[in-house]
Amino acid sequence: MTDKIKGAGSGPIDAGASRPVDSVRPKPAISSSSSESQSGSTGDTVTVSSTARHMADLQQAVNDVPDVDTNRVAAVQQALGNGQYKINAGKIADRMIQLESDLRGTGKNSQSSK
């Protein structure tokens, strides 16, 4: 079932591409010298706290660390090749249980206990 749109002929539809759009044009910028002389202020200032600076430094430190510890990978590969790599299933299970507890917020070190 199709309904015809009233007023729409079989000719091409003009989507406005041939007409200028004034609302998209950028507004002229106000020069800083004229706004300073009018308001008497030198402009807005931003102060970054020491905590924000510390967080930015930490983020940069994390970004600088490689995703893969190639020395650790080489050591594990060598231990596997020599048959010396021991898997401690109990330790793995304990850490999986701890992770699950942390994700649920019920672990020893979770934030809800504070």
Per-domain residue ranges of the chain: 70-108
Q: What is the pLDDT of residues 21-76, one digit of tens each?
A: 555 556 666 655 544 455 556 788 888 899 999 999 999 999 998 889 999 999 99
Cα 105 from Cα 6, distance rounded (Å): 61
**Residue 105: what pLDDT?**
86
Residue with tokens 């020893």: 108
Cα 93 from Cα 101, distance rounded (Å): 12
Q: Which two tokens stand for residue 73?
A: 């990978």
Cα 71 from Cα 81, distance rounded (Å): 15
Q: Which two tokens stand for residue 95?
A: 């850490």
Which residues are CB-neighbours of 102 under 8 A, at least 6 positions away? 109, 110
Q: What is the chain's length?
A: 114
Structure-model confidence comparison of residues 40 and 80, the more confident one: 80
Q: Which long-range contacts (CB under 8 A, 24 or more apart) does 22-30 make?
A: none
Record the pTM: 0.33
